[in-house]
């Protein structure tokens, strides 16, 4: 056979090849089509790449190919990792049945401190870390002894030692500051607030508690507005403490006493008239597609939807229409709303703007209270309420997530309403004899300052018995003692400042509209900040 092949190749005038060379060429000729038939496998996405612990096999060598432009990365639907401001782990609630009297007694104590001359100021530029020596340490020690953070028999020196660091951490905890033990700008500012101001904070806060008929019970919720925190209290101790975002000074969160009755999954949001007038109308004149972009429907009489892009926005006729934002990732209320009927129409809710939960200063909403980890909070509220799978089931975080994933709006009624109160305590005392202070962000402790209220112009969603306004003690007037203060018959109610315009009633709520198809990933609203007051749709 080889002889015939050799003879034939010579007859064709070709150069004869060695047998082994011919076999190699034939083998390559047969292998080449097979290599072309199997394209190189595409690389796995990063999310499913095998880890080194799984000892993934090494990929087969691939033939060289011409470089190609990398495709643009797709936007992830996953929410970014959340960062929350550090919360105190102290199980002592801000508000208990004993808070009123304890705070008044503490006000008397601070009055005595102020009359005795108070404490010495520390240098405004003071900065201390453990092990430092500074002549100002003496003033720091004296202050902390007067406030009970440092034992009176502690060693006196100019060394910032471990005992003094622990006392500073105690001081920082009482003032809602990061418990770092470092003496820096915020701690120095708190140290230099005079004892007379602290006394006024305690007295004014106690006055705001006068006449309260709040039914504490075994389980209740406290939102201390100056602290921007939410406490879930159970059996006399804080079971959960959550970061909150509350009203900015010109859109103050009001004091409220009511009950949580429902948890709403995938809520819609009806825009208040003030937002339509002051924000929506000017925006639509410049950008007619704004409402559609933010999934806000415009409803006329009978709930009939109106095309907002062809509507005449030159006047203010839009205030007579209902503007409702569909549920979804970018809804201003987020994915969960905590329903608590009250005359101010404020409530607690989720938000797509979660970055604000990381800040130590959290006064950004229009009156409502945004709650960090609101789904966990909702699960706590729903304890004892029958879950989605009937008798014996419960509403835990997984069930709440599953309910949200359906995309359907759902109202879950608590089997037993949970009492909730929004309080404004810039100074208060706990049963352990410690005084706590927060910044007077709304200026309610300043003599002669009118009490602000949430800029709400919506219909009343519940009823709260109004209380007579009790003005804080003015400069030069004696501060009432514990014996002078007797509970009033009615609770305190906040009124709108005189300069504010009269509220307009919102259009009557219409029947719910059909929910649209799922939308894109969560994003920060362009104009409408979550936390605005207004009824749910």
Catalytic residue among 175, 349, 364, 436: 349
d(CA 357, CA 487): 36
Handedness of CA 142, 148, 154, 155 (dihedral sign): negative
Beta carbons within 8 Å of 513's beta carbon, 6+ residues apart:
297, 299, 303, 305, 324, 326
- Which pair of structure tokens corresponds to residue 232? 């879930």
The single residue listed with the structure tokens 């205030």 is: 319
d(CA 298, CA 387): 35
Catalytic residue among 143, 364, 366, 368: 368
Q: What is the dihedral of CA 101, 467, 224, 227, to 10 degrees?
A: -100
Residue 30 CB neighbour total at 10 angstroms:
9
Catalytic residue at 30? Answer: no
Beta carbons within 8 Å of 127's beta carbon, 6+ residues apart:
182, 183, 184
d(CA 464, CA 343): 6
- Judge whether 223 and 208 are in contact, CB under 8 Å: no
Catalytic residue at 349? Answer: yes
Find the radius of gyration of the CA atoms of the chain.
Answer: 33
- Judge whether 249 and 198 are in contact, CB under 8 Å: no
CA distances from 531 to 121, 368, 514, 535 (A): 39, 5, 24, 11
Which residues are part of the catalytic machinery?
349, 368
């Amino acid at each position: 056979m080889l002889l015939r092949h050799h003879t034939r190749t010579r007859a064709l005038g070709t150069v004869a090849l060695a047998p082994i060379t011919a076999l190699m060429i034939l083998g390559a000729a047969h292998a080449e089509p097979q290599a072309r038939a199997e394209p190189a496998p595409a690389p796995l996405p990063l999310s499913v790449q095998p880890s080194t612990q799984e000892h993934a096999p090494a990929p087969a060598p691939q033939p060289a190919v011409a470089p190609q432009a990398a495709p643009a990365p797709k936007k992830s639907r996953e929410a970014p990792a959340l960062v929350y401001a550090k919360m105190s782990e102290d199980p002592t609630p801000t508000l208990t049945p004993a808070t009123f009297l304890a705070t008044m007694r503490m006000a008397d104590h601070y009055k005595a401190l102020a009359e005795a001359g108070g404490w010495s100021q520390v240098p405004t530029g003071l900065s201390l870390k453990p092990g430092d020596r500074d002549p100002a340490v003496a003033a720091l020690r004296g202050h902390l002894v007067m406030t009970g953070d440092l034992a009176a028999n502690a060693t006196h020196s100019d060394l910032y030692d471990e005992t003094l660091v622990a006392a500073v951490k105690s001081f920082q905890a009482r003032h809602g500051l990061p418990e770092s033990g470092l003496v820096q700008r915020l701690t120095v500012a708190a140290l230099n607030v005079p004892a007379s101001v602290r006394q006024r904070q305690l007295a004014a806060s106690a006055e705001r508690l006068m006449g309260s008929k709040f039914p504490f019970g075994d389980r209740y919720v406290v939102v201390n507005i100056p602290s921007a925190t939410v406490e879930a209290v159970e059996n006399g101790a804080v079971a959960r403490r959550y970061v909150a975002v509350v009203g900015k000074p010109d859109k103050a969160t009001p004091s409220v006493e009511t009950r949580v009755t429902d948890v709403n999954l995938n809520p819609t949001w009806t825009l208040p008239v003030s937002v339509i007038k002051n924000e929506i109308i000017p925006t639509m004149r410049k950008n007619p597609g704004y409402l559609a972009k933010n999934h806000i429907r415009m409803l006329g009489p009978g709930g009939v939807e109106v095309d907002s892009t062809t509507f005449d926005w030159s006047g203010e006729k839009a205030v007579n229409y209902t503007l409702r934002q569909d549920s979804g990732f970018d809804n201003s209320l987020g994915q969960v709303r905590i329903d608590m009927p009250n005359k101010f129409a404020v409530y607690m809710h989720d938000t797509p703007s979660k970055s604000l939960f990381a800040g130590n200063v959290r006064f950004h909403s229009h009156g409502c209270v945004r709650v960090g980890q609101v789904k966990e909070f909702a699960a706590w509220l729903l304890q004892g309420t029958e879950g989605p799978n009937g008798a014996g089931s419960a509403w835990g975080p997984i069930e709440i997530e599953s309910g949200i994933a359906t995309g359907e709006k759902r109202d879950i009624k608590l089997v037993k309403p949970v009492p909730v109160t929004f309080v404004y305590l810039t100074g208060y005392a706990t049963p352990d004899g410690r005084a706590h202070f927060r910044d007077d962000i709304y200026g309610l402790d300043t003599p002669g300052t009118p009490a602000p209220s949430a800029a709400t112009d919506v219909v009343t969603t519940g009823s709260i018995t109004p209380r007579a306004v009790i003005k804080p003690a003015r400069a030069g007037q004696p501060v009432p003692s514990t014996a002078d203060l007797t509970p009033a018959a009615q609770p305190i109610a906040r009124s709108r400042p005189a300069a504010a315009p009269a509220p307009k009633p919102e259009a009557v709520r219409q029947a719910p509209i059909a929910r649209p198809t799922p939308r894109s990933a969560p994003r920060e609203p362009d104009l409408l900040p979550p936390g605005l007051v207004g009824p749910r749709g």
